[in-house]
Chain A
C-alpha cells in the first residue's frame, strides 16, 4: 500500500485532500463530519467583517441530464459572527489534532484590520492561513476579494501586511478572473507568501429562466454575476496551475490545486501538473463528504500500480510534458483506425469528420447498418472521430510517422518543407 499522507509547508494531513473554503467548512458541525468521513484537512470558510447574504444564492449548468456540471454562487464570506467561528475552529482542532486546519481570511482593506484578524485566528491554534484574493462577486464591489487578486500591486501590499504579523504558514489564493494568474502570483511570492492556491471561482452567468427572462440565480427578479466552479472549470484550472508550476519564480512555492476536483483521477491530474495537494468544494456540495473514501482508495491503487510509494514521487511529473507549440514534432503523425468488431455503426465518427474535419471516413450504405472505414491518406489525425465514438477503444489512433527524425516548426520552415497538407 502506497503512503498518501501529505506534508504541505509542514502542515501534515493523512491524505492530500482538503475541503476548500466554502459552505462545507463554515461550521463545526460540518467540519467534524468531514473529518469523521476521512478528509485530510479543511480551509475554513473565509472570515472577515460581518456580512449579510441574499436568497437565493446558487445556480447550475446541467449537461445532457447530468446535474451540476458547472455550479455558480453569489455568496459572500462567512456570515456567522467571528467569535463563534473562532471558538469552533479551536474545538475542531482539539478533536482532530491530526487534520489540517487552515483558515481563510479576507479582512477590510487596511493593514490594521488584516493584522488584528490574523492575531485572533492564530490564537485558535490554526495551522495555516489562506488569503482569499479571489472571491469574484459582492466583496469585489467593496474593493476586496478578486479586486485585490486582480491587481498585483495591491495584492503585494496586502501580503506584506500579512507577513509582518503571521507566525504560521501563509497560502495566497489566486483569482482566475485575470488574463494570466502569473503576474499576481509572482508579486505575492515576492512579498513572501509561503504557498499559492488556485483557482477561486470564475465570473459567470449560468443561464436564464426562459419564462421569467431573469438570469440565475434569481434574487427578487434580479441576478448578478456569480462565481463558477465544478467539473466545467477543471480544464481552465489545470491550465492556470501549469502556468504557475512552470514560472521560474512561482514554481518555487508549493501549490494547492483547486477547481472541479471530484475524483481521485482529477486530483492525480492536478498533482501531476504541480499541485502538492488539492482542495474540493463543489463535489462535496453535490455528493456529501463520503466521496473521500474513493478518492483515497483510488489514488492508492493507482500509485501501487504505477509503483509510486509516496505522493512526492509523482507530484509535478507532467509539468515538463506541456511545452510550446513551436517545439512539437511535426513528423509525428497518427491515423484513425476503426475496429470493425467493436463498431456499432452509429455513424457519429462519419458525420463529425464529414461536416467538421477532413472528410476522411467512407460510408458504405447498408440496411440498417452502414459500414464505416477510414481513408488513411486523407486522415490528418485530429482525434475528432475517436472523441465522438461511443464505444471504448473502437477507434484507435495509430502512429504512422511522416519521417524518422524530430522536426519542429522552425526546422520545418528552415528546410522549406511543404506547408499545405491538402
Chain B
C-alpha cells in the first residue's frame, strides 16, 4: 500500500486520538483523591515543579470546595497550568517526588487534580487576575508559544502593554503544533490561548515572522524591551546518504501536519522507522501507528538505560505496538524509484563510561537492514541559527545565551524557553517566560507581582 492517507474510518481516527487523560468523573471522585493528599510542608512535589506551583495548597482548596481559589493558586504560578496538566511528564516532576512514592503507594494524581480546577476555570471563563492600570510601557514578544505567552501574561498583569509577533496563524507554539494530538486537542489549545489573552493588554500579530516581516531593529526602536520566545526549529539532519528519497520526513513537520490538518489527510507508510528515542520520536511513532501504519519501529543508538524519554512515554509506544531496536544507528537510506526502500543500520555497543559519566555508542562494524517505506527523523531539533546569527546574538550552536537576568547580549532584549535551553518541556518554557518578565519589569523599574 506504501505511503497513503485515509487508512482508517472516522471512528477509528477519533478513537485513536482521543484524550489519554480522562478527567475526574465528578466532584466526589476529585475530592477522594484530594483528601488523600497529606498537605506536606515545603512539599517535595512543589519543589519538583519547574513553575513552583503550591501543590498542597491547590489540592487542599479542591477538598474545601474552593475551586476558584485552587485555579488561582495554579494559574498564578503557571498560566498554562491547564495545558501543563495534560502534557507535563509528571512522573519525573511533581508526581515523581510525591511522598507516597516513598511508601510504595501510588502518588497523588496531581496533574489530574490540576486539570480538574483549571478546566473549571476555563469552562466558566473565571477572570482570576486583574491587570494593573496600564503604565505606558510597551514590550514586544516574539513567539506565542508557552514562553512568550507566560511572559506576556505576567507583564500584562503588571500593567505593561504587550505585542506578540508570531510567525504562524495560531498561538500556543509547539503546544498547538508539536505535542501529540492525543494529549491536547487543537480546540483545547485555542481555548487556552484565548483564556490567557482574556486578561487584556496583550495583542498577538499573527503571520509576522521576525527576520522576514519585521526586523529586530524595529522592535528595539518601537518598544521598551523585547522578549524572544522563538523555540527551536526543524529536526536535525541525519547526515547519511539517501536522506532526500521520497518518504523521509522530519518529525516536527510530520507532527505539525497532524496537528494542523484532518487526520485522514495525513499520508503514512506501511512500515515506518522512527529515528531517535526522545519525546518527539515517541510522539511521532505512536501517532504514526494511530494513523494506521502496520509496523512502526523505533531505532535508537544507545540502550534503554540512556533513553531521553520517560518510562511512561516508552510504555505508551509499546502499548501502541511500536517495536524498538536498541543500539542501532542509521548508516544509509536505500531507495527504489526515488522512494525509500530500506534503512541500513550499524549495530552499536556502549563504551566504558567516559569522563562525563556518559557511555558513548561505538560502531561494531556489523550492519543490518530494515525494509521500510517511510522514515521519520526525530534525532533532535536545530535551533534557529540563521536568525540568531543575523542579529549578532551570542549563542551556542544557535541556542541563545542569556545572563542571570535572562538578558541576551543585546541590551533590552531578553529570551527564554526552548530558544535558550534547546528544547525541554512546556513547563520549563512557562517558568522561563515568568523569569524573563520579572527581569524585564526590573529593567523597566517596575515591580513584579504574581497575584
Residues on A facing B (Cβ under 8 Å): 64-65, 344-348, 350-351, 363, 367-370, 390-391
Contact = CB atoms under 8 A, between A and B. Distances in A.
Given A65-B31, A65-B35, A368 B47 contact: yes
Contacts of A347: 40-43
A65 B43 CA distance: 22
A368 B99 CA distance: 10
A350 B41 CA distance: 8
Interface of B, helix, strand, loop or mixed by DSSP? helix
B97 A346 contact: no
9 contacts: A64-B63, A65-B31, A345-B40, A347-B40, A348-B39, A367-B47, A368-B48, A368-B97, A369-B97
Contacts, number: 42
B18 interface: no
B38 A348 contact: yes
B102 interface: yes
B31 A391 contact: no
Given A65-B31, A65-B63, A368-B48, A363 B42 contact: yes
Contacts of B41: 346-348, 350-351
A346 B99 contact: yes
Nearest to A63: B35
Given A64-B63, A351-B41, A344 B47 contact: no
Interface string B414-434: 000000000000000000000
B319 interface: no
Nearest to B101: A344
Contacts of A370: 42
B52 to A, nearest CB: 12
Contacts of B45: 368
B44 A368 contact: yes
Contacts of A351: 41
A348 B40 contact: yes
A344 B48 contact: no
B43 A344 contact: no
B305 interface: no
B32 interface: yes
Interface in B1-45: 31-32, 35, 38-45
Given A368-B45, A369-B44, 4 more contacts: A65-B31, A344-B99, A345-B102, A346-B40
A390 B99 CA distance: 11
B390 interface: no
A37 to B, nearest CB: 29
Contacts of A65: 31-32, 35, 63
Nearest to B43: A347
B99 A345 contact: yes
From B40, B45, B97, residue with most partner A Cβ within 10 Å: B40
B103 A344 contact: yes
A346 B102 CA distance: 10
Across the A-B interface, give the 3 residue pairs with the lowest CB-CB distance, nearest first.
A347-B41, A368-B44, A351-B41
From B38, B42, B48, B100, residue with most partner A Cβ within 10 Å: B42
Contacts of A391: 103
Contacts of A64: 35, 63
Contacts of B35: 64-65
A346 B98 CA distance: 9
Contacts of B32: 65
Contacts of B38: 346, 348, 390
Nearest to A210: B65
Interface string B95-132: 00101101100000000000000000000000000000
Contacts of A368: 44-45, 47-48, 97
A356 B275 CA distance: 57
A410 B47 CA distance: 51
Contacts of B42: 347, 350, 363, 370
Nearest to B34: A65
A346 B56 CA distance: 11
Contacts of B44: 345, 368-369
A339 B406 CA distance: 43
A347 B40 CA distance: 6
Contacts of A363: 42
Nearest to B32: A65
From A65, A350, A368, residue with most partner B Cβ within 10 Å: A368
A350 B43 CA distance: 12
From A65, A344, A346, A370, residue with most partner B Cβ within 10 Å: A346
A368 B48 CA distance: 6
A241 to B, nearest CB: 31
Nearest to A372: B41
A65 B102 CA distance: 24
B110 to A, nearest CB: 13
Nearest to B45: A368
Nearest to B28: A65
A350 B40 CA distance: 10
Contacts of B99: 344-346
Nearest to A363: B42
A65 B60 CA distance: 12
A367 B32 CA distance: 28
Nearest to A65: B35
A409 to B, nearest CB: 35
A65 B33 CA distance: 9
Nearest to B41: A347
Nearest to B97: A368
A120 B185 CA distance: 75
Nearest to A369: B44
Interface string B123-155: 000000000000000000000000000000000
